[in-house]
Amino acid sequence: MGKKGTPFIEVNNLKVHYTSEGRNIHAVNGVSFSLQKGETLGLVGETGAGKTTIAKSILRILPQPPAQVDSGEILLEGTDLLKLSDDEMRKIRGRRIAMIFQDPMTALNPVMRVGRQIAEGIALHEKISAKEAEKKAKRMLEMVGIPASRYRDYPHQFSGGMKQRVVIAMALSCNPDLLLADEPTTALDVTIQAQVLDIIKNLQKEMDTSMIMITHDLGIVAEVCDNVAVVYAGQIVEYGSREEIFDHPCHPYTIGLFGSLPDINSDVERLSPIMGMPPDPANLPSGCAFSPRCPYADERCKAAGVELTGIDGTHVCRCLHRDNEQVEKAARVTG
């Protein structure tokens, strides 16, 4: 997939499951993608599709147990992160790969001053004195638009949007090469969402950081992502550049996602949501995971798993019906 040359980060055939009350929950089922330096990949999908699990596997912060990485490789410039020792991995966490979490309300330690929470990571990775770390933490606060005078405040003295900025400052404090942004704006209200997104985008550009943006908001994807991977039931069902995905969605699920968005240009009475519920990850359907909800599904879809097939350029899709006229028509209407 990706452009030519060794990718900066490459995930190959990642499989993760959780064990819960004796049931195996298949959260990630063979996900592969790659990312170049400075690029942004969007992971799009419904809640529970396995997006966060993918990100946490990269940083190796999944709770084990109950989570268990079954197979796969995560190559950071050729080094498999899954094979590193805990000590080696700790040097990568926060320094080379950092994560912005979904819920700023709970992501900060409530009894530690916010400045110290930022400075802590800096002091750890850059081996500088506490004073210098404090200076840099203050600079980071100012970069995300918080006055340095609030260094000694506690999280409860901040609003949700400001807490998320602190989380961003914390993630970017050591100039990471890869930023995992796990729905960074979901918990914020709309006006703050735009601000926070701008901050992330600008800092990312400034520091030439690669980013994996996890979201279910196609608007965010359009704004920040170079490439898009649509995730369904722990698999990538469609992958391509932003233009490819937005202009020519091929998978019925992707088409459905666009169909459930209001479009200012089209004159329709009702949105067309995707019918049904995501499959139970403990009991995935045989064959295409989307087939129970898919309007075009037939016997072939239900019989066996469907492979990703190339369309053109970097665009790939996991569907047997992508040449089907009906599907193409639906894509034209919504795309």
Partner 1 sequence: MWKYVVKRLLWMIPVLLGIAVVIFTIMYFCPGDPAAAILENSATPAAIEAKRVEMGLDRPYIVRLLDYLNQVFLHFDLGTSYFQNQSVMSGILYRLPYTVTIAVICMLLQILIGTPLGITAAVHQNGVADRICMVIALAGVSIPGFWLAMMLVLLFAVRLGWLPPYGVGGIQYFILPCIANAFAGIASQARQTRSSMLEVIRSDYIVTARAKGLSEREILYKHALPNALIPIITVVGNGMGMMLGGTVVIESVFSIPGIGMYTTSAINNRDYPVVMGGVLFLGALFSLIMLLVDVIYAYVDPRIKAQYEGQQKSFGRRKKANG
Q: Which spans of this chain sit near partner 1 (rule: CB under 8 A)?
A: 59, 61, 90-95, 98-99, 101, 103, 106-112, 120-121, 124-125, 150, 154, 156-159, 162, 167, 170
Closest CA to 219 of 200, 194, 252: 194
Which of the 8 DSSP states describes residue 313? T
CB of 58 to partner 1, least distance (A): 11
The burial of 273, by beta-carbon neighbours within 10 Å (0-12 exposed, 13-18 middle, 19 or more buried), is given as exposed
Map residue 249 onto helix, strand or coil: coil
CB of 106 to partner 1, least distance (A): 4
CB of 264 to partner 1, least distance (A): 35
CB of 32 to partner 1, least distance (A): 23
Distance between CA atoms of residues 175 and 125, nearest Å: 11
Distance between CA atoms of residues 318 and 229, nearest Å: 11
CB of 54 to partner 1, least distance (A): 15
Provide the residue type at 90 as one letter: R
CB of 171 to partner 1, least distance (A): 8
As a residue count, the chain comes to: 335
CB of 17 to partner 1, least distance (A): 19
Distance between CA atoms of residues 111 and 272, nearest Å: 46
Angle between helices 160-172 and 190-207 (to 10 degrees): 10
Nearer to partner 1, 166 or 199 (CB): 166
Distance between CA atoms of residues 49 and 27, nearest Å: 7
What totals of helices (H) and strands (E) does the chain contain, helices first?
12, 12
Nearer to partner 1, 162 or 301 (CB): 162
Nearer to partner 1, 140 or 162 (CB): 162
Nearer to partner 1, 74 or 99 (CB): 99
CB of 152 to partner 1, least distance (A): 10
Nearer to partner 1, 177 or 238 (CB): 177
CB of 93 to partner 1, least distance (A): 4
Q: What DSSP string runs through 138-207?
A: HHHHHHTT--GGGTT--GGGS-HHHHHHHHHHHHHTT--SEEEEESTTTTS-HHHHHHHHHHHHHHHHHH
Nearer to partner 1, 112 or 222 (CB): 112
Nearer to partner 1, 121 or 252 (CB): 121
Closest CA to 173 of 208, 206, 133: 133
Nearer to partner 1, 87 or 325 (CB): 87
CA dihedral 222, 236, 11, 77 (to 10 degrees): -30
Nearer to partner 1, 151 or 246 (CB): 151
Report how far apart, in Å, the C-alpha atoms of 311 and of each of 287, 291, 319 are: 21, 20, 11
Measured over the CA atoms of residue 245, residue 246, residue 248 and residue 252, the dihedral's sign is: positive
